[in-house]
Structure 1
Amino acid sequence: MEQSGTTALLQGAVQDLASGVVSALRGGDHVTVSAAIGEDTPTANLVLPAVRVLGADLLLPRVLFRSQPDLAELAVFRKAVDAFPARADAAPAVRWSHWAMRRTLRRFEAAPDGAPGQDTAADLGTDWLEGAGWQYLTQQLAVLAALAVPGEDGPVTEVARSRPVDVARGFVRAVRRRDWQQAAGAGRWLTLLDGVPAELGLETGLDFVELMGGGDPRVALQIQAARVMRAAGAVV
């Protein structure tokens, strides 16, 4: 029961952070997570785990709008990266998610890549994605939607670029299954891909996903990210 309660609190903390990111992507104020540290609230000790769950998307508005995080905000992000390293036996998506957070840190801190004990993109590889069925490919790409950032190339992005039709099929399947998080993540990837079938009607599809699942801030985050990238012509 206690574990279940903690899980629910963590999910709530993640949703709160995602709501702040959505607000920033829509042009509102970015709710900084640093303010929550030390506050006497039920979720104060869950801020760092929540940042790790949300991952690199916490700083996505800073990336897309080319603004610098304040020092406290960046410090919280850095603490989450350091506090929750990906184990060597972790699933590939977990290791790539952690890598995406370190890539974001490098963007803002000019830190060197490939520091001792850290995986590089080449180390991680994409073996588990190459040749995967389109259903599994889309599911994994949706989990790694934080890697779908304009101007940030990498092995996972290359796999996605090589299979736009499969990702489009996965998007449609996710919508039909009412899996709004997966549909939103796949839709974000499709925004960056060439060769997406015109008959997919991606813009209309994103609107529908937002209508049906936008009450979930993590769904809204992916949809709003896709819109910002489309509006900018996928160039940052």
Structure 2
Amino acid sequence: MEQSGTSTRLQAAVQDLASGVVSALRGGDHPHVVPLGADGEAGDLALAAVRVLGADALLPGALLRTPPDPAEVAVFRKAVEAHPPRADAAPTVRWSHWGMARTLRRLDPSVTTGPSAEPDTGWLDGAGWQVLTHQLAVLAPLAVPGEECAVSDLAACRPVDVARGFVRAVRRRDWRQAAGAGRWLTLLPGVPHTVGLEAGLDFVELMGGQDPLVALQVQAARTVRAGAPV
């Protein structure tokens, strides 16, 4: 029961953090996206939530080119340092950790926390379009304009497959996967016009937008499509 309660609290913390990111992207009055205590520090639950959300915890600064709060950056850095991937971690976990480390280095080139070398993408070589879309949706925090990596290069080579995955996710009512795939599609060249991405994002937002994790991906896609500075 205690483990279940902890999991429930973590899910709530992740959703609260995602809601803060969405509000900031929409121009809401949220000076602090990352939850901080009265002492300016973040508790273990907040650190874990940042780790789950990954680089998207500081997404407003990346897309809107606004300087992040130093206290939030400190919490973000602590989350990276406190939760390194285990040796047997899944590829998506290793890539998420790398993405967070990349974000830190972008904010402060003197930072040496986390890996600088990209993990491999071997697990995606030859992956079917269903698997590819699922994995890219998990790694949606890597879909940031002007910050290419091996994963984004691989996605750029398969826009039709990602588009097929997006349509399939919508039909299956898998709104989180659809939103993540839609975010990638805003960055990829050669996306078929028949996908109807704008209308598709509208539908995903309508049907799944009450989930802050869906709303975050949709708003990220909209911000990019609206011409966020890159």
Interval containing the TM-score (normalised by the shorter chain)? over 0.9
Aligned amino acid, residue 9 of structure 1: R
2:56 partner SS: helix
What is aligned with 1:215?
210
Cα distance in 1 between the residues matched to 2:186 and 2:229: 11
Cα distance in 2 between the residues matched to 1:112 and 1:10: 28
Q: Structure 1 residue 27 and structure 2 residue 27: aligned?
A: yes
RMSD across aligned C-alpha pairs, in angstroms? 1.8
With normalisation by structure 1, the TM-score equals 0.92
Q: Structure 1 residue 226 and structure 2 residue 226: aligned?
A: no
What is aligned with 2:11?
11
**Post-superposition, which runs of at least 4 consecutive aligned residues in structure 1 deviate over 4 A?**
none
> How much does 1:118 deviate?
2.8
Tell me if the contact between 1:145 and 1:186 (Cα under 8 Å) persists in the aligned partners: yes
5+ residue gaps, structure 2:
none
Instruction: State the Cα deviation string for residues 124-176 of structure 1 (Å, max 9, x = none).
Output: 11111111000000000000000000000110001100000000000011111
Match runs of 1:13-162 below 5 Å: 13-30=13-30, 31-36=32-37, 44-111=43-110, 118=115, 120-121=117-118, 124-162=119-157
Instruction: State the Cα deviation string for residues 185-235 of structure 1 (Å, max 9, x = none).
Output: 000000000111101000000000000000000100000000000111x75
Aligned amino acid, residue 4 of structure 1: S
Q: Which moved more, 1:65-74 or 1:12-21?
A: 65-74
Q: How many residues align?
A: 228
5+ residue gaps, structure 1:
none
Identity %: 69
1:128 partner SS: helix
Tell me if the contact between 1:37 and 1:45 (Cα under 8 Å) persists in the aligned partners: no
With normalisation by structure 2, the TM-score equals 0.94
